[in-house]
């Protein structure tokens, strides 16, 4: 009888431990951005919950569908998410940020490697708290850097980690942006789509708006 009781207690302990372990595993949130050139799969970071949840809400409400990548700077980034870009005329001024603002969630362990998903924001002069746009975001393209270039960007208070250096030297990115913007996700599939969008000719009507509109559709996906 005691033996059976011990087996039951052991089984319950194992069951509870397994349940606790399962509960401790964070849910992975992914989104698919569909463009003319194909799809990008985005993984959102759970330790930037304000930005993560805001992005998910925007996606589920369909607010990004039909918006444009309205600002493209080759070897730097592509920016989109402006609700005014839906059905925008060629002469229309885009990128003016009238969306609600989100408190910064700048995490030092995230850096602007190629494919980083970051929130757009107004410059420090008018936005000293570095509040993020509640709608506009950018995806980093950047370019590869060497050790000397990276060393010139370091300061007494900020040094690139060995992992960041490896990414910046082999895959590329925009290291000069580190610690200045909230990075809340990254492209895990379809990095080449960023290159294709960045290669689009621009300047016909606006300095950085592609001459041919590149629209997006965004949806949350499950594994």
Asked if 219 and 40 count as a contact pair (C-beta separation under 8 A), the reply is no
Q: Quick check: helix, strand or coil at residue 221?
A: strand
More confident residue, 15 or 58: 58
SS3 218: strand
pLDDT in tens, 139-186: 999 999 999 999 999 999 999 999 999 999 999 999 999 999 999 999
| Other CB atoms within 10 Å distance of the CB of residue 3 | 7
The answer to whether residue 152 is domain-embedded is yes
Domain of residue 177: give its range: 27-221
In a domain, 40, yes or no: yes
Rounded to 5 degrees, φ, ψ at 162 are -60, -35
- Domain-located, residue 3: no
CA–CA dist 198, 76 (Å, integer): 8
Q: Pull the structure tokens for residue 182.
A: 């909230």
pLDDT at site 16: 55
Q: Residue 19 falls within a domain, yes or no?
A: no
Res 35: pLDDT: 98
**Does any domain span residue 50?**
yes
Question: Does residue 126 have a pLDDT over 60?
Answer: yes
We report the CATH number of the domain holding residue 85 as: 2.40.100.10
Q: Is residue 7 part of a domain?
A: no
CA dist 70 and 79 (Å) reads 6
- In a domain, residue 142? The reply is yes
- Count CA atoms within 13 Å of residue 73 on its CB side: 10
| Assigned domain for 72 exists | yes
**pLDDT-derived band at 221, boundaries 50, 70, 90:** very high
How would DSSP label each residue in 164-197? Answer: HHHHHHHT-B-GGGTTTS-EEEEEEE-HHHHHHH
Tokens for 6, please give them. Answer: 């011990």
Q: Which of 21-30, 159-168, 204-213 has the highest mean pLDDT?
A: 159-168
Q: What's the total number of domains in the chain? A: 1
pTM (2 d.p.): 0.88
DSSP-derived letter for residue 185 is: E
């Amino acid at each position: 009888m005691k033996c059976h009781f011990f087996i039951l207690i052991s089984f319950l302990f194992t069951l509870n431990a397994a349940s606790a372990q399962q509960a401790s595993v964070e849910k992975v949130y992914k989104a698919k951005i569909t463009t003319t050139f194909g799809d990008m799969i985005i993984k959102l970071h759970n330790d930037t919950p304000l930005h993560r949840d805001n992005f998910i809400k925007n996606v589920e409400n369909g607010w990004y569908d039909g918006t444009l990548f309205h600002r493209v700077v080759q070897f730097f980034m592509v920016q989109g998410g402006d609700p005014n870009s839906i059905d925008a005329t060629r002469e229309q001024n885009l990128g003016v940020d009238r969306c609600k603002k989100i408190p910064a969630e700048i995490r030092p362990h995230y850096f602007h490697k190629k494919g980083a998903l970051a929130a757009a924001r107004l410059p420090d002069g008018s936005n000293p708290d570095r509040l993020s746009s509640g709608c506009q975001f950018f995806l980093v393209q950047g370019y590869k850097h060497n050790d000397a270039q990276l060393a010139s960007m370091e300061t007494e208070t900020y040094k690139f980690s060995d992992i960041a250096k490896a990414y910046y030297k082999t895959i590329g990115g925009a290291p000069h942006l580190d610690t200045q913007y909230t990075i809340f996700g990254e492209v895990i599939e379809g990095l080449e789509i960023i290159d294709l969008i960045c290669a689009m000719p621009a300047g016909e009507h606006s300095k950085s708006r592609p001459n041919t509109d590149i629209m997006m559709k965004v949806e949350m996906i499950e594994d």
